[in-house]
Amino acid sequence: MNVPLIVFFVLAAMCIIGAVSLILQRHPIHSALSLIVVMIALAGLYLLMGAEFVAAVQIIVYGGAIMVLFVFVIMLLNAGLEERTNVSKLAGIAGVPLAVALTGFLAAAVARSQDTVQAATQTGATAPTKALANLLFQDFVYPFELTSFLILVAILGAIVLAAPRGER
Amino acid sequence: MPILNYLWIIPALPLLGSAINGLFGSKWPNKIVNSVAIGSTGLSFLAALEAVREFTHLAPENIPWVQQYFTWIIAGDFRAGFDLQIDHLTVVMLLVVTGVGWLIHIYSMGYMAHEGGYYRFFSYLNLFMFFMLILVLAANYVLLFVGWEGVGLSSYLLIGFYFLRKSAADAGKKAFIVNRIGDFGFMLGMFLLFKSFGTLDFVPLFAKAAPLPADAMGHLGMFTVACLLLFMGACGKSAQLPLYVWLPDAMEGPTPVSALIHAATMVTAGVYVVARSHILFTHAPTAMFVVAIVGCATAFFAATIGLVQTDIKRVLAYSTVSQLGYMFLACGVGAFSAGIFHLMTHAFFKALLFLAAGSVIHAMGGEQDMTRMGGLSKKIRWTYLTMLTATLAIAGFPPLAGFFSKDSILLSAYQNEHGGRILYAFGLLTALLTSFYMFRLIFLTFHGKPRYDEKKVHVHESPKSMLVPLMILAVLSLVGGWVAAPAFWGGSDYFANFLQPVFWQGGAMNAEAAEAAAHALEIPLAIVAVVSALLGLIVAWWLYLRQPGKPEQLAKSMRGLYNLLLHKYYVDEIYAALIVKPLLWISTDVLWQTVDVRAIDGTVNGVAEGALGMGDNVRHAQSGNTRSYAVWVVIGALVIIAIVFWPYFRATTVGAVR
Amino acid sequence: MVPTHYYLILSAILFGLGVIAFVFKRNIITIFMSIELMLNAVNLAFVAFSQALNKLDGQVFVLFVIVVAAAEAAVGLGIIIMIVRNRQTLNVESVNLLKL
């Protein structure tokens, strides 16, 4: 039992509690806040694994922009408590068992592959930000430019979709 | 030798006439139509005469004279060509067909003058001549079969000439269908012959067959089966038992048609085929015996039916069936030349009988029932005289034609080794019946008191165009027999000698061996035949002239037998119940309802309905509900993951290291 | 040290929870959030592998996933706004016009 392992379990517990809370909460704003908790915990896990840049981006972009956008929309639309309709019988009956089966499969697959993936991981990685930047702007420059284009398109789409009627 | 090189002209001329009349005749007046038809047939007759003249100058090794015009079928080793041949047998048939055919064409000029569809009649008649000439001139079985089928077709067209009458249309159909049944046997026979000999051309086939050993009596060897099958076709075409039922109904056609097709030419095609194939038949004694039995039985059977019929043409129809039976009897006992001789004489007097009957009908304004005639002998003198000549000929009175031919048949039958006496007895009995019913016809029609309303029916003699052929045929009936008169009567036995080269390998052997005995038998048998003919005449005279009421009494007292004969032994009804009805039932209920409607349509429609049904059920998956779509996505993901990771699971479980 | 497969099992659990949320919740925005949860789970797996294999490509990919998630969130929320304008409700079962 060493410190990284304990930290891992704590952060993992936070993730899982947050996810379960997302399911069980009835008001969407509570679900959003639970999701933010999950994201912070994940950022911690990334740090634990030594991916500091990714952890930072996670908090800044995911937590600070995307979740803020979600909260924004929830408030804009005045979302209330969730209704209790149940039109789809299929989802009601088969939903949970299937999801559990899915999880089980993946987990089982992972568990059996212990010997093929290296067991130990090192904390304190090898200055990945610089190397990451090199990789991003040299080998992956083309996808990088495409993502900027993607964001442009997304912005345009969002504006067109959300603009009030009559104003184009 | 021009014509012999251009044999195809003989059948081509009537074909040309038929085409011209068929295509253009509807707009032409009667005169042009019949000049085309009669002209083409007449030219064909002249060409035939010329061919015969040239034939007599041929050297013996050129006989049979074969001309190959073009190759029609080539399939592997099999070759069938448009080949025509002439030998002595062909000469006889050729002259009969073209000669009698031409006379009947002339007769039709007057008979059909007031009928609608004049051009159509002559077109069909010429078409028939074409096919019949192909049949007799053919040098192989395939071309013969073309002619065979063609005359069947023409017969159908001509029997159903008055097609607006249902009975006529039905009769045409019946003729064609019953012929087809026989043709089935004929085709099987042809196939068997081809399989055995590799060719269907007469000259090589008979050359191959001649040296082979004959089948034993009672043994179904190849020869026997092939001959029986060919004979089945002959039964259909020549109206023997059991396929004779179409001939009486065929009287629905115009009388010249009955004369030409159902007396002189088409129905003799069967006899011609048997005679042509005599080499095969002499190798199959069983088949010959069957032929003789069927011929004899048919002759007797038809004669009994003819005793009580009241329609003048029906009597003649059954008489034709009966006389054809005689011809087959002759072939069956090996007297092929006698059979062909009877064919020739029969053509003369039967055609004459039919044409004269047509003249009577024409005089009576369309009446065909003999019980409504009577006392016509003074009013239509020439018709009466010619018909009387023909009746004397058919009854077998010497020295007319029928006597010689019938006599030689009965003689050969008597000498046959298998049941000859019985065949002779029935043949003789049939001769008696023939004489009786023919004279019954004469007495009912021409003698006695008129049984019709003399004011309503204006009896008039027929025009010259109808009478002249009658007279020519009467002369032929008188003298036609003299060419074959056996030596002891003073004749030269010309006919049998003429056909000797054709039949020398076959039946004539019987005659050679028994020649001496034959001479001793001929005179007694001839006397017996004449006596029986006289007996028939006397009985008919007594029943119909002396005591006109007697027939009624006899009919009443023997009601059952009388009805049986009057209704032709109910054969048509039996056929309808046994064969036609079940066939129709199978066709309608089984094949149509079950197989076509339920099975085939059901399957095809069923596939469509299945697709519809499946679609109907599957569309519930498109519920529009996002959550169920989401579940389907999860299911899909699950399946893919399972498939991708499955070997991984099995591999690690198999060699798991814990 | 933390074995890699711990991270992977956690990723699988988070993914499963995201699927459950996706199937069960009826509010459109909550369903969207469950999608984000699933994406995060995948990101975790990427980083775990990147660290295990000592290659940085996994982390580059995580960056791209985050960018795409952002774009998707923007457009998706725009669509949600339109749905609410048309249906006046946030219940996903009201979006059922594609029914056959």
Is residue A59 one of the residues assigned to a domain? yes
Range in A135-139, B211-215, B488-492 the model is least confident about: B488-492
For B74-83, write each residue's pLDDT tens digit.
888 788 888 8
The CA-based dihedral angle spanning residues B532, B534, B535, B539, taken in that order and rounded to the nearest 10 degrees: 150
Number of domains in chain A: 2
At B500 the pLDDT is 66
Residue B658: band (very low, low, confident or very high) from pLDDT cuts 50, 70, 90: very low
Residue B652: band (very low, low, confident or very high) from pLDDT cuts 50, 70, 90: low
Does B618 lie at the interface with C, CB-CB under 8 angstroms?
no
Beta bridge partners of B65: B86
Round to whole Å and give the CA distance between B263 and B351. 6
Q: Which residues of A touch B (CB under 8 A)?
A: 87-91, 94-95, 98-99, 101-102, 105-106, 108-109, 112-113, 115
A92–chain C nearest CA distance, Å: 7
At B651 the pLDDT is 57
Cα–Cα distances in Å, from B221 out to A142, B144, B191, B195?
93, 24, 15, 14
Q: Which residues of B touch A (CB under 8 A)?
A: 623, 625, 627-628, 630-632, 634-635, 637-638, 641-642, 645, 648-649, 652-653, 656-657
Whether B489 has a pLDDT exceeding 70, the answer reads no
Q: Are B129 and B152 in contact (CB under 8 A)?
A: no
Cβ-defined contact of B641 to A87 (cutoff 8 Å): no
For B278-333, write each residue's pLDDT tens digit.
888 888 888 888 999 999 999 999 998 888 888 899 899 999 999 999 899 988 88
Cβ-defined contact of C43 to A42 (cutoff 8 Å): yes
Whether B508 has a pLDDT exceeding 50, the answer reads no
Q: Is the pTM of this model over 0.80?
A: no
At B507 the pLDDT is 42
For B140-168, write each residue's pLDDT tens digit.
999 999 999 999 999 999 998 988 888 89
Q: Which residues of B touch A96 (CB under 8 A)?
A: none
- Residue B79: alpha-carbon gap to chain centroid: 27
Is residue A50 one of the residues assigned to a domain? yes
Q: Are A94 and B632 in contact (CB under 8 A)?
A: no
Give mean pLDDT, residues B422-433. 89
Round to whole Å and give the CA distance between B274 and B276. 5
For chain C, give the longest Cα–Cα distance.
55
Whether C90 has a pLDDT exceeding 60, the answer reads yes
Whether B463 has a pLDDT exceeding 90, the answer reads no
Q: What CATH number should be reported for the domain holding residue A37?
A: 1.20.120.1200
Cβ-defined contact of B626 to C23 (cutoff 8 Å): no
Give residues with Cβ within 8 angstroms of B560, minimum separation 6. none
Whether A74 and A130 share a structural domain: no
Whether B398 has a pLDDT exceeding 90, the answer reads no
Residue B526: band (very low, low, confident or very high) from pLDDT cuts 50, 70, 90: confident
- Residue B80: alpha-carbon gap to chain centroid: 24
CA angle B457, B461, B467 (to 5 degrees): 145
Whether A3 and A74 share a structural domain: yes
At B656 the pLDDT is 47
Which tokens in the block code for residue C12?
A: 């699988």
Beta bridge partners of B86: B65
At A125 the pLDDT is 52
At B186 the pLDDT is 93
Q: Which residues of A touch C24 (CB under 8 A)?
A: 23, 91, 95-96
Peptide bond just before B399 cis, omega within 30 deg: yes
**% residues pLDDT > 90 (chain B):** 17
Whether B381 has a pLDDT exceeding 60, the answer reads yes
Range in A113-127, B52-66, B172-186 the model is least confident about: A113-127
Amino acid at B596: D
Residue B495: band (very low, low, confident or very high) from pLDDT cuts 50, 70, 90: low
Q: Are B110 and B463 in contact (CB under 8 A)?
A: yes
Q: Mutate which of B614, B616, B627 to test chain C, going by most C C-beta atoms within 10 A?
A: B627
- Residue B1: alpha-carbon gap to chain centroid: 34
Whether A109 has a pLDDT exceeding 80, the answer reads no
Collapsing DSSP to helix, strand or coil, B248 comes out as helix
Amino acid at C82: M
Nearest Cα residue in chain C from A107: C9
Is residue A163 one of the residues assigned to a domain? yes
At A69 the pLDDT is 93
Residue B192: band (very low, low, confident or very high) from pLDDT cuts 50, 70, 90: very high
Round to whole Å and give the CA distance between B322 and B396. 14
Residue B335: band (very low, low, confident or very high) from pLDDT cuts 50, 70, 90: confident
Collapsing DSSP to helix, strand or coil, B71 comes out as strand
Does C90 lie at the interface with B, CB-CB under 8 angstroms?
no
Round to whole Å and give the CA distance between B41 and B26. 20
B628–chain C nearest CA distance, Å: 8
Is residue A114 one of the residues assigned to a domain? no
Collapsing DSSP to helix, strand or coil, C58 comes out as helix
Cβ-defined contact of B626 to C95 (cutoff 8 Å): yes
Is residue A115 one of the residues assigned to a domain? no
Round to whole Å and give the CA distance between B425 and B250. 30
Q: Which ranges of chain C would DSSP assign to H, the alpha helix? A: 4-24, 28-53, 57-87
Question: Angle at which helices C28-53 and C57-87 pack, to 10 degrees?
Answer: 180
C12–chain A nearest CA distance, Å: 6
Cβ-defined contact of A113 to B637 (cutoff 8 Å): no
Which tokens in the block code for residue B267?
A: 């129905």
Is residue A49 one of the residues assigned to a domain? yes
Give mean pLDDT, residues A73-85. 79
Whether A76 and A3 share a structural domain: yes
The minimal CB distance from C99 to the residues B623, B631, B634 is found for: B623
Which residue, of A64, A80, A96, is where some domain finishes? A80
Q: Which residues of A touch B634 (CB under 8 A)?
A: 95, 98-99, 102
**% residues pLDDT > 90 (chain A):** 46
Cβ-defined contact of C23 to B627 (cutoff 8 Å): yes
At B339 the pLDDT is 86
Q: Are strands B65-75 and B78-86 parallel, antiparallel or unpaired?
A: antiparallel
Does C80 lie at the interface with B, CB-CB under 8 angstroms?
no
Q: Which residues of C touch A143 (CB under 8 A)?
A: 64
B614–chain A nearest CA distance, Å: 20
For B12-67, write each residue's pLDDT tens digit.
999 999 999 888 888 888 888 888 888 899 999 999 988 888 888 877 777 778 88
User: Range of A147's domain?
Assistant: 126-168
Is residue A91 one of the residues assigned to a domain? no
Nearest Cα residue in chain A from B637: A102
Nearest Cα residue in chain B from C93: B625
Residue C4: band (very low, low, confident or very high) from pLDDT cuts 50, 70, 90: confident
Q: Mutate which of C22, C24, C25, C29 to test chain A, going by most A C-beta atoms within 10 A?
A: C29
Round to whole Å and give the CA distance between B102 and B517. 41
Whether A130 and A70 share a structural domain: no
B651–chain A nearest CA distance, Å: 10
For B359-379, write each residue's pLDDT tens digit.
888 888 878 888 888 778 888
The domain made up of C4-88 has a fold known as Helix Hairpins (1.10.287)
**Domains in chain C: boundaries:** 4-88
Range in A99-108, A130-139, A146-155, B294-303 the model is least confident about: A99-108
For B206-258, write each residue's pLDDT tens digit.
888 888 887 777 778 888 899 999 999 999 888 888 888 888 888 888 889 98
Round to whole Å and give the CA distance between B411 and B134. 33
Q: Which residues of A touch B627 (CB under 8 A)?
A: 87-88, 90-91, 95
Smallest Cα–Cα separation from B206: which of B191, B193, B188? Answer: B193
Whether A63 and A7 share a structural domain: yes
Does B622 lie at the interface with C, CB-CB under 8 angstroms?
yes
Is residue A116 one of the residues assigned to a domain? no
The minimal CB distance from C20 to the residues A99, A110, A157 is found for: A99
Q: Phi/psi at B156 (nearest 5 deg)? A: -60, -45
Name the average pLDDT for chain B: 83
Give mean pLDDT, residues B332-339. 85
B positions 623-642 inside 8 Å of C (CB) = 623-627, 630-631, 634
Beta bridge partners of C27: C91
Neighbours of chain C (3+ CB pairs under 8 A): A, B
At B572 the pLDDT is 82
Whether A151 has a pLDDT exceeding 90, the answer reads yes
